[in-house]
Structure 1
Amino acid sequence: MTVEVERAVAVRDPDAVAASPVVTRRRNRERLHALDGLRGVAAFLVVLHHVLLIAQPVSQPPGEPAVLSGWWWLERTPLKLLTAGHEAVIVFFVLSGVVVVLPALRRVDFSWPGLVVSRVVRLMLPAWAAIVFATALLLLVPRVPQQVTGGSWLAGQVQSDWSWQRLVVEFSLMGNSVPYNNVLWTLKWEFLFSLLLPGFLVVAVLLHRWWLPTGLLAVGLGVAGTVGGIEALEYLPVFFLGTLIAVRLRAIEGWSESRRAKRLLAVILPASLLLLVIEFLLAPVVPEGSDGSHALIGLEALGGAGVVVVAGAATGFRRFLEGRVPQFLGRISFSLYLVHLPVLATITWIVGDWNWPIAAAVGIPLAVLTGWGFFRVVEKPLHKVARSAKRGASRAVERYVRSDRTV
């Protein structure tokens, strides 16, 4: 998703910048490509995460991986970042909190009804198309149980038989899982955030001067939600962290130009990345499923926020994300996210999960190619529809308000 960030023509006092939460209009605009690139990298990590899940029942020995073994390197070292799927979703949520809020900060007369309608078109319609795509693959390629390991993630979490009743339920996207394409569970939280955005924005603007305690409070609520098994408390504070970053974005960019800030950001990035996978790194001493493990999962939100801050600042990481490959992945990131799992699952059911290297070698490039095609055929045209729907909803509400006043 592309973000437009408006910079001041002249350099201003950092304290004055920090005190102004609303991004004003200016002639010189610059698209913050780094956030697009970060979304693309995160989407590709979700693909690798699902490849790992497909390979796991066949290639991972039972119990704790032996030190220096292949699985130990993948699960107990920072290399886990290469397959950190849930953690990439946390980054998605923080990014949504940033990019959805920025247009509202640019205009005092921003249309909230228009935003909701636009988000429905841009999120729900592509998701419905992805469910149709996944269902078509399911009907074309029968899911023979013998082709995957019994009790594996693929056998239990991805739909293997046809049921029109179940399909109707899936189109609501409000369940905790969407077996026809189970990555779509995240859209429920995206929709809820869209509805709660005005409140989130008001709180972020009011408390933007106290951004550090406010952000830490949001992280604390997320940890409490994770430990307590309260999903709304686990995920919605993550979006709020993105909202707070959006309100502070100009201040972050101005601050990041200083030499001292660059040194600090060079520490924040690796620390944030480690926080994203801290649960895996400490698994030998903090057992999986314990309250301590859940607390570490809750801290992923802080890591995700740190990564987004560094991506939005003037750093080498930002320049990397503005490169050609991250930008391509960023352009198709939502489409890649929507269609990659049906592609990987179908290839795996054809060759068998014991041939997961073949499934990965064929499925990963095919998923990227399918994501690009889905973007061109489905997602990109719907961007225009979303803009038209946004304008139409805004005008309809405005006409209603005016007519009500004349009664």
Structure 2
Amino acid sequence: MNGVNRFSAERFSQLNALRGIAALTVVLNHFTVIDPLRELWRTPLRFVLNGHNAVILFFVISGFVLTLQLTSPEPPGYQDYLVKRVCRIYLPYLAVFGAACAIMLLVYRGPVSWAGVWTNSAWDGRIPVSEVLQHVFFVGVYRAEHIVPVIWTLIYEMRIALFFPLLVMAVRRLRVHHALALAIIASASAYLALLVEGKNPYNANLKVQWELTAHFAGIFVVGTLLALHRARWSAWLQVRGRKALVLGVSLALYFLSQAVLRVAPSGIADFLFDWGVATGAAGMVCVALSSAHITSILAWKPIVFVGMISYSLYLTHTVVLLAVIHAMPAANTAWLALAIAALLVIPVATLVYFAVERPSVAIGRALTLRRVLPVDRDRRRRGESAKEPGNASAVQSPGRR
């Protein structure tokens, strides 16, 4: 089986759709930490409201997609790869961060009594210059829940992006079980380091602790292994009954692994939780790429559309929610504010996708295309493969969360 052709750009629609669904769960997560909706966490819906699960899925998918780019017949050079990652992740974030700061300064800046702790912590009306610099340059000690509360995932993505090509090179030289064992050991070592340093492992990711870069890099490796050995697991799944079995186990791990947080000590629980979810996410990715039935479901146009705007949705939904709440702080407007915010998240994400995200991706393409010889550029535009040695073709990313 030709792995590159088998998992061509057309096949990535399933991964974008998964990203879209995952992004919606993050939206639901942040809406339901607002006090009027918090009771939903006492219902069975709590299993689909955990946005952290979605982040782990994002990381597995990113590891998969980036590995396919870096191991393609004509992989991008490191400089081109990094330029595209910066344009893809950082430029849209920077625009949304600037907009969030401006809105925060314009709306009511005091506490909103009906909204709860998270809301008043995320937008407390204070934007110190030091914190602006931290959020712009991705350095320092973060209040990751402040201003743009999803920033912590982007920081880890950018950190891992810096050394990910080297990580892929190393994993390619290892057997599957050796690579996976080393990823788990690195992950466990990160939590052990936190404990040794006297840091509380609980929600350490929100503090963007440096140690956890190794942990989340291990999650990326799961996606890398899926990409490198896609022909093997795809063939294994073709046996009758295996897709259904893998999907069932994967969904159980993905949604129910959070139960370990209630019974295991902090640190150990977080470690086991993330790896349980990562295992479930890996199985979901495999089935999504192998099952015609799942593919048909993920090809539903609304899901495809949400997948297309998933990164913009992920970036902007907390800004929309917090802006509306602080624009309507009176207690008698609580439900109206939540309804308006819910109605606005998709339109705002769509606007940001077309006005910011797509142009940012185009900038990345333009900056890397300039380093390609004219004859090679013409061949790319015609969809042909470059034959001259040394002219590495930059493989385009099918999209991100």
TM-score range, shorter chain: 0.7 to 0.9
Residue 309 of structure 1, CA deviation = 2.1
Tell whether the 8 Å contact from 2:20 to 2:304 is kept in structure 1 after alignment.
yes
Tell whether the 8 Å contact from 2:35 to 2:114 is kept in structure 1 after alignment.
no
Alpha carbons of 1:273 and 1:228: their partners in 2 closer, same or farther (altered >3 Å)?
Answer: farther
Alpha carbons of 1:90 and 1:270: their partners in 2 closer, same or farther (altered >3 Å)?
Answer: same
2:273 matched to 1:308? no
Over the aligned positions, Cα root-mean-square deviation in angstroms equals: 2.9
Alpha carbons of 1:319 and 1:346: their partners in 2 closer, same or farther (altered >3 Å)?
Answer: same
Q: Give the 5 Å matches for 1:97-176.
A: 97-108=63-74, 110-148=76-114, 152-175=117-140, 176=142
Residue 225 of structure 1, CA deviation = 3.0
Which stretch shows the higher mean deviation, 129-138 or 223-232? 223-232
Alpha carbons of 1:82 and 1:109: their partners in 2 closer, same or farther (altered >3 Å)?
Answer: closer
Instruction: Choose from 30, 34, 42 the match for 1:72.
Output: 42
Aligned-partner residue type, residue 314 of structure 1: S
Residue 376 of structure 1 corresponds to: 354
What is the alpha-carbon distance in structure 2 between the residues aligned to residue 331 and residue 161 of structure 1?
A: 33
Q: Give the 5 Å matches for 1:298-377.
A: 298-299=274-275, 300-352=277-329, 357-377=335-355
Alpha carbons of 1:282 and 1:187: their partners in 2 closer, same or farther (altered >3 Å)?
Answer: closer
Q: Percent identity?
A: 27
2:256 matched to 1:290? no
2:21 matched to 1:45? no
- Which ranges of structure 2 fall in alignment gaps of 5 or more residues? 195-210, 374-389, 391-401
Residue 228 of structure 1, CA deviation = 4.8
Give CA deviations for 1:1-33 in whole Å, capped at 9, x if unaligned: xxxxxx74xxxxxxxxxxxxxx55799863421
Tell whether the 8 Å contact from 2:47 to 2:256 is kept in structure 1 after alignment.
no
Residue 183 of structure 1 corresponds to: 150
Residue 200 of structure 1 corresponds to: 167
What is the alpha-carbon distance in structure 1 between the residues aligned to residue 111 and residue 302 of structure 2?
A: 37
What is the alpha-carbon distance in structure 1 between the residues aligned to residue 7 and residue 43 of structure 2?
A: 50
Residue 255 of structure 1, CA deviation = 3.4
What is the alpha-carbon distance in structure 1 between the residues aligned to residue 352 and residue 261 of structure 2?
A: 38
Residue 405 of structure 1 corresponds to: none
Instruction: Choose from 391, 394, 400 the match for 2:369.
Output: 391
Give CA deviations for 1:214-238 in whole Å, capped at 9, x if unaligned: 3355245434534653312321101
Residue 275 of structure 1, CA deviation = 2.2
Tell whether the 8 Å contact from 2:312 to 2:352 is kept in structure 1 after alignment.
yes
Tell whether the 8 Å contact from 2:261 to 2:270 is kept in structure 1 after alignment.
no
What is the alpha-carbon distance in structure 2 between the residues aligned to residue 235 and residue 379 of structure 1?
A: 24
TM-score by length of 2: 0.79
Instruction: Choose from 39, 50, 62 the match for 1:96.
Output: 62
Aligned-partner residue type, residue 377 of structure 1: A
What is the alpha-carbon distance in structure 2 between the residues aligned to residue 46 and residue 383 of structure 1?
A: 23
Residue 35 of structure 1 corresponds to: 15
What is the alpha-carbon distance in structure 2 between the residues aligned to residue 353 and residue 266 of structure 1?
A: 50
Tell whether the 8 Å contact from 1:94 to 1:241 is kept in structure 2 after alignment.
yes
Alpha carbons of 1:164 and 1:215: their partners in 2 closer, same or farther (altered >3 Å)?
Answer: same
Aligned-partner residue type, residue 237 of structure 1: G
Alpha carbons of 1:327 and 1:308: their partners in 2 closer, same or farther (altered >3 Å)?
Answer: same
Instruction: Choose from 206, 229, 253 the match for 2:234.
Output: 253
- Tell me how many residue pairs correspond in the alignment: 354
Alpha carbons of 1:115 and 1:155: their partners in 2 closer, same or farther (altered >3 Å)?
Answer: same
Residue 109 of structure 1, CA deviation = 5.2
Residue 37 of structure 1, CA deviation = 0.2
What is the alpha-carbon distance in structure 1 between the residues aligned to residue 346 and residue 7 of structure 2?
A: 36
Q: The residue matched to 2:138 in structure 1 has which SS? A: coil
